[in-house]
Amino acid sequence: EQGKPLNGPNARFEVGACSAWLRQTAAFDLEPEVLVDDEGGRVELHYRPLGVVGAIGPWNWPMMISVWQLAPSLRMGNTVVVKPSGMTPLSVLALVHVLNLALPTDVLQVVSGRRDVGAVLASHADIAKIMFTGSTAAGQDIIRSSADTVKRLTLELGGNDAGIVLPDADPRAIAEDLFWGAFINTGQTCAALKRLYVHEDIYEEVVQALADIARAMPMGVGLDESNFLGPLQNKAQFDIVANLVQAAKDSNARIVVGGEPNKGQPGYFYPATLVADIDNDNPLVTEEQFGPALPIIKYSDVEQAIEWANGLDVGLGASVWSSDRDKALAVAARIQAGSVWINKHGTVDPRAPFGGAKKSGYGLEFGVEGLKHLGQPQVISA
């Protein structure tokens, strides 16, 4: 339904992540916090169930992200109404069916439909909280729809994640992790690497190391066990990628690999595309492509790279690549993003909170901190 190949960080990976997140979330403890305990009294912070949580998911990782939303909601004692993307409802309907074999009746429900159904959930007086993963524009619509009921929101919105490769990095050593940071799920991932800044001293080495991997990575129908890259899920996304790559071509950027739709193959297949010698203000850099096209921008000064990385109004994730951990950490601390990875990109962990900066949303998911965002804080003083 989504188009993921079975192997690699794709379909079987997604199913495994669902299982892992359910198990880890069930294992978390959230005990009352003792804030004051002295001769003046005792103050405790508790987290109570909110009530009904509306979980609105995307089409790129439909099962996994639904689990990210529903697992902590249920763990905190809430009931959940799941609204899958209208583009990928079937896998989520099947997921909810399986979960309901174990859950009490009506604790977890699912309603499918298009964006207007999500708007109803966001405005409904009996929904206490909305968890949403999707575009910034759709998130803004949910904020507006939810305003009258002042409901709680956790929004994981669009990103345009930057990676900065420092001059001391080893191009061949980091190339495979760079590739999958950008091309996981054929680039259709919110926290994928979407613009790469590489120091001029190692620029060509990094470009060529990535090109070697891209040329060798098989793309095709997901049920073929040999494929690791699949199609774009829908025509609208295919057209976005094709138009942004064309804009790069029109600016005389260098197409290193790819750059043309796979002719003669049915489906929305766009090859893994690397674009070098591209300006930082090119649309392929400034707009989220959400597909298999990575712009690689040359820089000469780290200050310039940091400024460029921070130059957009989104900040979901970012990464720094270096052989010197301390140097990488110093750069990471200056990047405006909710998560910054060192020598990897997009490796989320159910124990570590995850959330965006700027227009990439607000609220946290995962870990004990994520559980707190699905409870009503209550302070008891005695």
Q: What is the pTM of this model?
A: 0.96
pLDDT at 316: 98
Q: Are residues 34 and 87 in the same domain?
A: yes
Residue 68 in domain: yes
Q: Are residues 149 and 171 in the same domain?
A: no
Domain count, the chain: 2
Residue 266: partners with Cβ closer than 8 Å, 6 or more residues away: none
* Known catalytic membership, residue 156: yes
Q: What is the pLDDT of residues 21-38, one digit of tens each?
A: 999 999 999 999 999 999
Please check whether residue 261 is in contact with residue 270, taking contact to mean a CB–CB distance below 8 angstroms: yes
Q: Are residues 274 and 287 in the same domain?
A: yes
Q: Are residues 97 and 175 in the same domain?
A: no
CATH of the domain at 311: 3.40.309.10
Interatomic CA distance for residues 285 and 283, integer angstroms = 5
Q: Are residues 367 and 274 in the same domain?
A: no
Residue 280 in domain: yes
Please check whether residue 8 is in contact with residue 183, taking contact to mean a CB–CB distance below 8 angstroms: no
Q: Are residues 185 and 218 in the same domain?
A: yes
Active-site annotation holder among 190, 200, 205, 288? 190
pLDDT at 273: 98
Q: Are residues 97 and 57 in the same domain?
A: yes
Q: Which residues pair with 162 in a beta bridge?
A: 195, 318
Q: Is 208 exposed, middle or buried (0-12, 13-18, 19+ CB in 10 A)?
A: middle
pLDDT at 264: 73
Q: Are residues 91 and 188 in the same domain?
A: no
pLDDT at 262: 74
CATH of the domain at 81: 3.40.605.10
Residue among 283, 280, 282 nearest 305 (CA): 280
Which residues form the domain of 45? 11-157+360-381
Interatomic CA distance for residues 252 and 260, integer angstroms = 15
Residue 347 in domain: no
Q: Are residues 119 and 180 in the same domain?
A: no
Residue among 140, 126, 123, 119 nearest 80 (CA): 126
Per-block mean pLDDT, blocks of 10 residues, the chain (382 long): 95 97 96 96 98 98 98 98 97 98 97 92 97 96 96 96 98 98 98 98 98 97 95 97 97 97 85 98 98 98 98 98 98 98 97 97 97 98 96
Active-site annotation holder among 14, 156, 288, 365? 156
